[in-house]
Structure 1
C-alpha cells in the first residue's frame, strides 16, 4: 500500500454512533445527507469520520473511546444524573463496538499478540477494504465507573486505557476549564489500574491533577490528544514543564485537530477556520515545539479527536475527512522532517509505546 500506516490515538466512535446516531459503516456523503436538515448539534452534516474514510486514509489502528459524564447539580454540561446511568450508556457504546466486530468493521486489540497480528495483517494486505480496523478501547473520563470494583469488569471486556477526567467537574478528577486536585477515589482507582497495567491518559486533567498523577501512578502514561500551551495558552494544553515530565516517562503526546487547541484566535461556535486560515500545518508547530524539547521525534503522534463534538466547522479548513491525515506526509517533508520522523509520528511511536508496555 502506498500510503503510510496511521495510528490515531483518540476517536469518539461510539459516541458518534450512539448519541449522534451516525451509521459509521456508510459513506461520509450519506451520513452528511441524513443530517442535512438537523440542527440539534452544531456539527450536523459536517462530520469527518466513518469507516470507509478511515480505510481510505490507511488509518488501521485507533484508540476508540467510551464516554459518559455524570453531571452534578448546578452544572451546565450535559450528562447523566447518576453513575449507574452513565455506566449503562458506556455499556450501550460497548455493545455497538461488539456489533461492529460482528460485521467485520472493527477488531478489538487487547494485548501484544493482538497488536502484532493486526499490524502484520494490515501491512501485508494491498486492499484493506475487507479488513477490520483495529481498535484499543479507552474510557474518556472515569465518571461511569460506579466504584473501583467496576474496573475489573471493564478490563475483562477489553478496556485498556482510562482518562480520569473530561470537561468540567468529575467524580474522580476535575477536568478542562476547572481547577483543583484529584478526588480521593482517584488514588484507589489508579492503584488498581496499575495492578492491571492499564494506560492512564493525562488528557483533560487540571494542572494539580496532572502533577498528582505523575507523582503517584506506577503504570504506563500517555497524552492521547494534547497540544502545546506555549502556542495556545489555556489550561487544556500542556506546559513545557509537563511535556518534559511526559518525555521522562517515555510517554507519547497525540496532536489534536480541534481548531481552538491549534490557534489561540479561534473561538468555538463563533470563529471560522477558513477566515482565520487555520490549516493542518499549524499542528506541526505544536509537534515541532515538543521535538525541540525532546531533541527527537520519539514522543509525538496523532490523536486527532476528529468528530469529538465538532466537525468541519471546527477543523482545519484543508481537512474534508479523516482520510486527509495523509496530507501530513507532504507537510512534514516540506518542514524538513525525515521519512523516519514521519513514520514515528504516523505510527511508530504509538506502536513502540504499546509494545514496550504490553510485552
Structure 2
C-alpha cells in the first residue's frame, strides 16, 4: 500500500543549510530522502514553505520564493522521479505513472506581509494550500502561542475569501482556537489540520479539542495525525507508536474514521517517536496499524482519505 504524508519541512532544511543537501542521496541528513521515501511507499508528499521567526520579516518573501525554486530545482527536477501535483488531473496521473508526487503548501501567511497579490503569485507557482499562522500572530490571525487567543483579522478574512476564490485549501494546524472557529463559521474553504493530534489524549495546546475534531468531521476535512513527540505523549522522550495509536482510536471514537490521515512533520522536528525516526519508519507504522485495525481502514488512512480530499478540492 502507498502513503500520502501531509506535511514535511524538507524545503526549510534545504534553504537553511550552509552546504547543499541532496534529496536524492540515501545518506542525506534529511528525514525525508527520495530513496527511502520510495522504498517506504510514499506516493505523495506535501512540502511546506516555512520561514522561521528568526528570519527578518523583510526577508521572508525572498525565503519563500527561494524555497519554491528549491522545490522545482532540487525535488522535482526534470519530473522523471518526482512530479509536481497542483491539480486533480495531476493527482490522478500518479496512479499510473509510478512516480512520487509533490504538493506545495505555505505554512504561515507571514511572508505575504498583508498583500493578497503574493498569495496569487504563489498560487500560480503551484501552491494549493495555506496555513494562516505558525505559532505566533501575523497579519491574518493569532497562532496557538499567542496568549490573547485572537481570531481572524480583517486581512485574515480577506485572505480566506481570496483563497476560496482561488479554490485553495485552508490548513488550521498552528491556528488559535478562536481562529479555528472563525474559519469554520466564516468560510466555505475546504479545511484540513495537516499535522495535529488529540488534546484529550495529550493536552498540548497544538492539539485539537474534541469539538474541533467533530467540526472537522462535519466539514469533511482532514486531520493529519503527526509524529511530533510532545504532541503524541508526555513525557515526549517516551513517545512511541503505541501512544500514536491512542490518538487514532480517539479520532475514530469521535466519528473521524473518514477524515483521519497522517502528517509526519519530518524535518521540522528534532526529537522523534521511537520507530518513526525518519521516512523509513512508515512501513513499521503500517505493520502496527494492520495489527490493530482492518486493512480497509488502514488503506483509507494511509492513502484514500487524503487522495479523495485532494481529488475533490484541487482545481
TM-score by length of 2: 0.93
SS at match of 2:128: strand
The equivalent of 1:40 in structure 2 is none
User: Does structure 1 conserve the Cα–Cα contact (< 8 Å) formed by 2:168 and 2:314?
Assistant: no
User: Does structure 2 conserve the Cα–Cα contact (< 8 Å) formed by 1:281 and 1:328?
Assistant: no
Where structure 2 has 5 or more consecutive residues not aligned to the other structure, the ranges are none
User: 2:54 matched to 1:56?
Assistant: no
Distance 2:206 2:286 in 1: 27
Distance 1:307 1:155 in 2: 24
User: 2:269 matched to 1:299?
Assistant: no
User: Does structure 2 conserve the Cα–Cα contact (< 8 Å) formed by 1:253 and 1:301?
Assistant: yes
The equivalent of 1:143 in structure 2 is 110
Deviation, structure 1 residue 246: 0.5
TM-score by length of 1: 0.82
User: 2:134 matched to 1:134?
Assistant: no
Q: Which has the higher helix share?
A: 2
The equivalent of 2:16 in structure 1 is 19
Where structure 1 has 5 or more consecutive residues not aligned to the other structure, the ranges are 33-46, 70-76, 123-130, 267-272
User: 2:249 matched to 1:279?
Assistant: no
User: 2:142 matched to 1:174?
Assistant: yes
| Structure 1 residues 293-332: aligned runs within 5 Å | 293-294=254-255, 297-308=257-268, 310-311=269-270, 314-332=271-289
Deviation, structure 1 residue 223: 0.9
SS at match of 1:149: helix
SS at match of 2:106: strand
Distance 1:238 1:102 in 2: 37
The equivalent of 1:353 in structure 2 is 309
| Structure 1 residues 190-269: aligned runs within 5 Å | 190-266=160-236
Structure 1 range deviating more: 238-247 or 56-65: 56-65
Distance 2:22 2:314 in 1: 32
Deviation, structure 1 residue 67: 1.1
Distance 2:309 2:55 in 1: 33
Deviation, structure 1 residue 103: 4.3
| Structure 1 residues 116-127: aligned runs within 5 Å | 116-122=92-98
User: Does structure 1 conserve the Cα–Cα contact (< 8 Å) formed by 2:204 and 2:230?
Assistant: no
Deviation, structure 1 residue 234: 2.5
**1:20-57 CA-partner distances (Å, limit 9, x unpaired):** 35322211xx334xxxxxxxxxxxxxx52211111111
